[in-house]
């Protein structure tokens, strides 16, 4: 296995990507620039050397972002991606024929539109996902009080009723991405045991006193429990995940349900004008069906649309999903 380093160079919330020139391995493919680790060389030393050789620039190598292992047939590559800050020097292309600076959204879209070096794709997704989460958490930190006030008033009674009628009395519900605590409080008042969690510390701090219990600060990706809940209520809580993370999260939620447990999910059907400060995914019904089919023992019970009113008085359509763990 050959260890190779990759530089994720950020400038003004954009990331440098480079296309290999003709005549080199993976010519025409895009990559995060870097190179092979030499004997008695640290990854940081390797990146500093490679960036000077490839571009003629001085850089400061930061934290490890991720690792990717890919078998190219003739060789297996272990790719280590590091955040890098450009210190000085103009970019002179030697091993590449062009470079581009891509935003996190453009980086995510490039996975399907660019011919990426296969080993780089997991790093591309990791960088984009990190930026999406950072952007979304910044929004909720700044707008926590306003968000809680607005969403606490929304009427979810009919959809909650569809959900709780499928649960045993007094069952244990995970309110995943509980937001204002609106639904968790309603479940508590119905006699259910509720575990409430939210990825935003600012939102959790608002919801905890409202519920009279601690709201756990935790992301959906961090759920690692088996056969624990009679129901999982994920109301507008997975819509900030990039599409490539949904499959793993669906499987984690399926494992967290008890046999016979009920999963509720909702996603926006389209972007609204007020959504520019956060990342959203918009899976369509066919993709939802495929995601559920990929989970062991998950059965789709219902899929329907509903509407809510946004802060600028626009109508927002929602895709609602109810599924059961069959065994």
* pLDDT tens per residue across span 59-80: 999 999 999 999 998 899 999 9
Kind and range of the H or E element at 30? strand 30-31
Res 298 pLDDT > 60:
yes
List residues bridging with 305 in a β-sheet.
Answer: 319
Mean pLDDT of 151-173: 95
Tracing tokens 């119905």 back to the chain, one arrives at 190
> By percentage, how much of the chain surpasses pLDDT 90?
84
Give the Cα separation of 285 and 319 in Å (integer). Answer: 8
pLDDT of residue 279: 85
- What is the arithmetic mean of pLDDT over 301-313? 79
Whether the pLDDT of residue 55 is over 90: the answer is yes
233, 181 Cβ separation under 8 angstroms: no
Alpha-carbon gap, residue 120 to 6, rounded angstroms: 8
What average pLDDT does this structure show over 195-203?
Answer: 97
The reported pLDDT for the residue numbered 324 is 98
Return the pLDDT at 278.
Answer: 79
pLDDT computed for residue 275 by the predictor: 62
Instruction: Give the helix ranges, DSSP H, for 5-120.
Output: 43-55, 104-113
pLDDT band of residue 271 (cuts 50, 70, 90) is low
pLDDT for residue 83:
96
Q: Considering just the CA atoms, what is the radius of gyration of the chain in Å? A: 23
Query: Over 80: is that where the pLDDT of 2 sits?
Result: yes
Tokens coding 239: 């819509």
- What span, in angstroms and rounded, lies between the C-alpha atoms of 210 and 118? 48
Q: Which two tokens mark 142?
A: 């700044």
Phi, psi (degrees; rounded to nearest 5) at 27? -55, 135
Q: Work out the average pLDDT over 165-176.
A: 98
| CA gap 114, 81 in Å, rounded | 19
Mean pLDDT of 86-93: 94
Query: Helix H segments across 71-120?
Result: 104-113
Q: Residue 257 CB: number of other CB atoms within 10 A?
A: 25
CA 149 to chain centre: 25
CA distances from 178 to 59, 182, 281 (A): 42, 8, 18
Would strands 34-36 and 2-11 be described as parallel, antiparallel, or unpaired? antiparallel
Greater model confidence, 274 or 21: 21
Mean pLDDT across the stretch 228-244? Answer: 95
pLDDT over 90 (residue 230) = yes
Which helix (H) or strand (E) covers residue 258, if one does?
strand 257-268
User: Could you give the CA distance from residue 118 to residue 30 in angstroms, rounded to a whole number?
Assistant: 9
pTM of the shown model: 0.86
The DSSP-derived string for 39-95 is TT--HHHHHHHHHHHHH--EEEEEEEEEEEEEE-SS-EEEEEEEEEEEEE-----SS
What average pLDDT is seen over the chain? 93
What's the helix, strand, coil split of the chain in %, to 5? 35, 35, 30
């Amino acid at each position: 296995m050959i260890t190779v380093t990759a530089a994720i160079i950020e400038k003004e919330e954009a990331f440098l990507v480079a296309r290999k020139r003709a005549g080199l391995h993976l010519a025409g493919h895009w990559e995060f620039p870097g190179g092979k680790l030499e004997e008695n060389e640290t990854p940081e030393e390797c990146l500093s050397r490679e960036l000077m050789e490839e571009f003629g620039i001085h850089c400061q190598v930061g934290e490890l972002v991720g690792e990717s292992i890919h078998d190219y047939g003739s060789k297996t590559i272990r790719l280590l991606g590091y955040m890098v800050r450009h210190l000085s020097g103009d970019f002179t292309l030697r091993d590449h024929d062009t470079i581009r600076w891509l935003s996190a959204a453009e980086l995510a879209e490039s996975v399907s539109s660019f011919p990426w070096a296969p080993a780089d794709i997991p790093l591309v997704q990791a960088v984009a996902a990190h930026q999406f989460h950072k952007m979304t958490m910044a929004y909720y930190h700044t707008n926590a009080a306003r968000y809680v006030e607005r969403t606490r008033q929304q009427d979810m009674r009919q959809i909650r009723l569809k959900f709780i009628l499928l649960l045993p009395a007094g069952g244990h519900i995970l309110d995943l991405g509980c937001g204002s605590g609106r639904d968790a409080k309603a479940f508590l008042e119905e006699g259910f045991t509720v575990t409430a969690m939210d990825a935003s510390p600012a939102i959790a701090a608002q919801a905890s006193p409202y519920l009279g219990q601690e709201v756990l600060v935790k992301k959906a990706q961090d759920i690692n429990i088996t056969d624990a809940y009679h129901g999982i209520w994920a109301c507008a809580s997975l819509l900030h995940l990039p599409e490539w993370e949904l499959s793993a999260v669906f499987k984690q939620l399926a494992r967290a349900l008890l046999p016979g447990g009920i999963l509720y999910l909702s996603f926006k059907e389209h972007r609204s004008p007020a959504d520019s400060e956060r990342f959203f995914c918009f899976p369509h019904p066919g993709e939802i069906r495929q995601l559920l089919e990929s989970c062991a023992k998950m059965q789709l019970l219902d899929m329907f649309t509903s509407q809510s009113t946004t802060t600028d008085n626009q109508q927002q359509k929602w895709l609602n999903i109810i599924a059961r763990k069959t065994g």
